[in-house]
Structure 1
Amino acid sequence: MAEIHLSDDHKAFIEDLVKSGAYKNEDEVVAAGLRLLQQKDANLRKLIQEGLDDVEAGRVLSFASSEELTAHIMKMAEERKNAVAPARGIAEGAGRSSRRL
């Protein structure tokens, strides 16, 4: 399998990456893209296995309805938001100007 067909946009993107000096040639660009896909696939498989392991171990939640699930998700989001809010003030420097750069 030596021949592949690319859209004009993909060809231009590859050419731009080579011209920028980020890659020596088109083969390096394609190889880098394939490595990223392999990493993404491996990570996805790992996450799926973690989920399956959780189910097997009984680490699951059951909901009677989609409304109950939605309420649970909203509660978790609110708890996360409240947990992050105090830390945000510390990180930004309490008492400092709120002007952003």
Structure 2
Amino acid sequence: MNPLQHKTKAKLVAAILVFYLLAFFTLSLAYEVKEAHHPCQGDQCPICHQIQNLERIKEQFSFSLGNVSIFFWTFLSILTVTLQKTTDNFTKTLVQLHVRLNH
């Protein structure tokens, strides 16, 4: 696979993940704002239950995003170094590669 295609696919996947995360946080915030002053039914209130679920999911995201960001930073650093090493041979001239051109 061409390194450029792989890099493009990785950027696309990252953009899709960021879009989904932003959509989740935006929509959950909108839901919480809309239902902030709902007529609460006490301990069995389904709206309060949903808001608590959203808060738990956000806490899990905030914990896991820290770990995931460290993993992705490390992975992308290794990928960048590897791609630089492999593409150096493609950008060198024949003189730099010590190819003898006179026969």
TM-score, length-scaled by structure 2: 0.34
Structure possessing the higher radius of gyration over alpha carbons: 2
- Greater relative contact order, per chain length (Cα 8 Å cut-off, separation 6+): 2
Q: Which has the higher helix share?
A: 2
